[in-house]
């Protein structure tokens, strides 16, 4: 099992030797990603993203930035909010400033976090790898995909089917209308075909 805590600590130690501050920031992450209403957007999601990104690590120009973006991209998550990504980016910025990261690096990280809102293809290749890792669950085997879709439904349990199903259908149909779900060649080759099959399967049962 991946040690997210150790990964985070090592990332932070590059910029700050304040162990108590780093530990405090890790505890914040752990608490946020373990909130009661989270069924999919949790620490396991981060682990899965890192596993995907590790497979293309040599192609990522600034793995430090992408790693911080992974840790903070869903730190604020409320199913009824339309500004989770902006809030997560702002949250990240305040912590990363205290760790002493240079502002240009912080800006890169916050831009990447906000990019996970729309999942539009970016000019920056690193961002595209981040986005593809975030959506990689869509291309896993059908059982894993259905488990993911059930967890998403749980996160939106405040909404009755009457509201949830049309909204979910709209999201899935939008995915299918994209020329490509995945922005990078590696993820496209690995997951594109399966992702479209999985989405079509979910649409059948909605």
At residue 102, the pLDDT reads: 98
Residue among 80, 95, 85, 102 nearest 23 (CA)? 95
29: Cβ contacts below 8 Å, ≥ 6 apart: 8, 71, 72, 75
At residue 188, the pLDDT reads: 98
* Helix, strand or coil, per DSSP, at residue 102: coil
At residue 177, the pLDDT reads: 87
Selecting from 3.40.630.40, 1.10.760.10, 1.10.1740.10, 1.10.1300.10, what CATH number does the domain 4-205 have?
Answer: 1.10.1300.10
> Which residue shows structure tokens 């682990």?
47
- Cβ atoms of 45 and 54 within 8 Å: the answer is no
User: What does 59-77 look like in DSSP terms, one character per residue?
Assistant: G-S-HHHHHHHHHHTTSS-
The C-alpha atoms of residue 157 and residue 38 are separated, in whole angstroms, by: 11
At residue 2, the pLDDT reads: 72
User: What does 140-190 look like in DSSP terms, one character per residue?
Assistant: S-HHHHHHHHHHHHHHTTTS-HHHHHHHHHHHHHHHHHSS-S-SSHHHHHH
Mean pLDDT per block of 10 residues along the chain (206 residues) reads: 90 98 98 97 98 98 98 97 97 98 98 95 97 98 98 97 96 89 98 97 96
At residue 75, the pLDDT reads: 98
At residue 61, the pLDDT reads: 98
């Amino acid at each position: 099992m991946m040690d997210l805590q150790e990964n985070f600590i090592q990332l932070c130690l590059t910029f700050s030797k304040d162990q108590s501050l780093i530990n405090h920031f890790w505890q914040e992450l752990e608490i946020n990603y373990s909130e009661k209403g989270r069924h999919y957007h949790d620490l396991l999601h981060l682990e899965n993203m890192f596993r995907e990104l590790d497979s293309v690590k040599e192609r990522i120009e600034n793995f430090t930035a992408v790693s911080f973006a992974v840790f903070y991209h869903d730190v604020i998550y409320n199913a009824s909010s339309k500004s989770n990504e902006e809030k997560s980016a702002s949250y990240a910025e305040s912590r990363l400033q205290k760790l002493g990261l240079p502002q240009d690096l912080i800006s890169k990280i916050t831009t990447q976090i906000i990019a996970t809102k729309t999942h539009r293809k970016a000019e920056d290749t690193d961002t595209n790898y981040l986005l593809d890792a975030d959506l990689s669950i869509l291309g896993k085997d059908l059982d894993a995909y259905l488990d993911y879709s059930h967890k998403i439904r749980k996160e939106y349990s405040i909404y009755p089917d009457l509201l949830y199903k049309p909204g979910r259908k709209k999201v899935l149909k939008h995915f299918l209308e994209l020329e490509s779900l995945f922005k990078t060649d590696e993820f496209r080759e690995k997951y594109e075909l399966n992702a479209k099959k999985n989405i079509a399967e979910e649409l059948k049962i909605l």
